[in-house]
Every structure is written in C-alpha cells, then in structure tokens.
Amino acid sequence: MFEELSNGDSFIRHLDPRVKIAVVFFFSILAAVAVRMHVLLWLLSLGILIVVLARVPLPELFRRLIPVNLLIAFLWLFLPFTFAGEPMFSVGALTVTREGVLYAARISIKSNAMMLMLIALVASTPIFTLGHAMHELGVPQKIVHLFFFTYRYIHVMHREYVRLVNSMKIRGFTPGNNLHTYRTISYMVGMLLVKSFDRAQRVHNAMLCRGFEGNLYSLSTFSLNGRDVVSLILMITAVIILGVLEWKKTI
C-alpha cells in the first residue's frame, strides 16, 4: 500500500498508466492460463526485463516477493506428495510425483512472473493516478471508489488497531494460548469493525455535505505519445507471440 516505487525515475515510470494497466491485464491472463513450461519461462524472463527497465531496487523487490514465495513454499510441501502421477522418489511413506513437482513449478513461475510485472508497472504509478487511469479505461466507478477508499482508510484503520493494541498492553494484557486471550482479541477485532463502520458512516455523510454525486475528478490529464504507443505495441506483441506459442503447442 506504500508508494516507494512511484517516486523513481525510469523509462517505465513515465509511461502512460493506462498502458501499464492494459499490459499487466493481458500479461496476467496469459500467465494464468499458460501450461507450457517454455512459455512460462519466457513470461518470467519478460517480467525480469521489465523490472530491470523500471530500475526497481533489489531490496524493495525482494521485500515484495517474499510474502508470495512464502505461500509458494507452503505449496511445495504438499503438492508434490498429493498430486497423482508418475512416482519420482519416496520420503518415508510419502511419494513425490513428477506431475506434482511440475504443477508446483508452474505455480511458482506464474506467481513470480505476474508479481514482477505488477511491481514494475503498477507499483511504479502513484495510487491516485492509477485509480483515475482505471476510470479512464472504463472500470466501473464503484470499483474505483472502493479502490480509493481502501487505500485511504486502511492506514486509518491500522492506526486505530495500533491504538487498541497499545491500550491493551497498558492494561497489562499478555497474549497466551488460553481462553482469555482469544476472548480479548475477539473483543478487539469486534471493536475495530464497529469503529470502521462508524468511520464509514461519518465519511459518507461528510461527502454528501460537500455535494459528492459519484463523479471522479482528476487534476492530471492522460495523453498517449509516441513512446507510449510503441511500448504498448511491443509489449502486447510479445504477449501475443507467447500466447500463440501456448495455443499452437509448438516449441
């Protein structure tokens, strides 16, 4: 939810945000449906290339990839042993199958390829510019509003959560594996939901008082230049070529 990458200076950073969203959309669809390993490797390579062009700092890149790969590591603990197929080797009573390993590998490559593209293109765009670009591309206004308010008020709710946690600590609360801890945390979550609902009502009433009618206004204007058009054509062409390789089942 933070915008560290949107302040950099790179070729990707200055592309029209609508181009970025369109490329990520089609790239993600292809990555999600592709099953040919060589196509997936090409998609991963394309994602790495875009990250290099975006000049994403390595520490920031790894920090954003770690949560995704932790989930993937969890899948690697189960899929090779539970997916039916040709046995490769056994670990005690469990058998690792070739199909299970390939399935886990595909998920790993797909996830990292899409995350690299999201980090390089979407995360390099300021949040509010991204929201207005979504509106320009015809995304329903309610979804765009939800996107804006989620970004705006998740920080407010986080501050409220920290305040509740600190008040519990001041009162001597020490979490443990017991019923008192579960009850206290349940009360805290319930209070957070109540405060969130109350905040939503107050924000809604404040917007109505200011004459809000559901329209989005932006101080920035979007216009495609030659660089944007060429970049869009090149990226979409690369996605189409990889899609043909997947569809034709050719090497």
In the chain, where the domains are located: 4-125+221-248, 139-209
At 2 the pLDDT is 55
Residue 71: Cβ within 10 Å count: 10
| 14 vs 96, more confident | 96
| 140 vs 93, more confident | 140
> pLDDT category, 196, cuts 50, 70, 90?
confident
User: Can you give the pTM of this predicted structure?
Assistant: 0.73
> pLDDT category, 249, cuts 50, 70, 90?
low
Q: How far apart are CA 109 and CA 56, in angstroms?
A: 19
| 220 vs 171, more confident | 171
The one-letter amino acid code at 69 reads N
At 220 the pLDDT is 67
On average, the pLDDT of the chain sits at 83
Q: How far apart are CA 27 and CA 47, in angstroms?
A: 9
Which residue intervals of the chain are DSSP H helices?
17-33, 37-54, 58-76, 79-82, 98-117, 127-136, 141-170, 179-209, 226-248
Query: What tens digit of pLDDT does each residue of 153-191 get?
Result: 888 888 888 888 898 889 888 888 888 888 888 998 898
Query: What tens digit of pLDDT does each residue of 96-139 get?
Result: 888 888 888 999 999 999 999 888 887 777 777 888 888 888 88
Q: What are phi and psi of 70, to 5 degrees?
A: -65, -40
Query: What tens digit of pLDDT does each residue of 34-65 get?
Result: 888 888 999 999 989 888 888 888 888 888 88
Give CA angle at 60 (19, 115), nearest 5°: 45
At 112 the pLDDT is 92
Give the pLDDT mean for 233-248: 87
Share of the chain above pLDDT 70, in %: 93
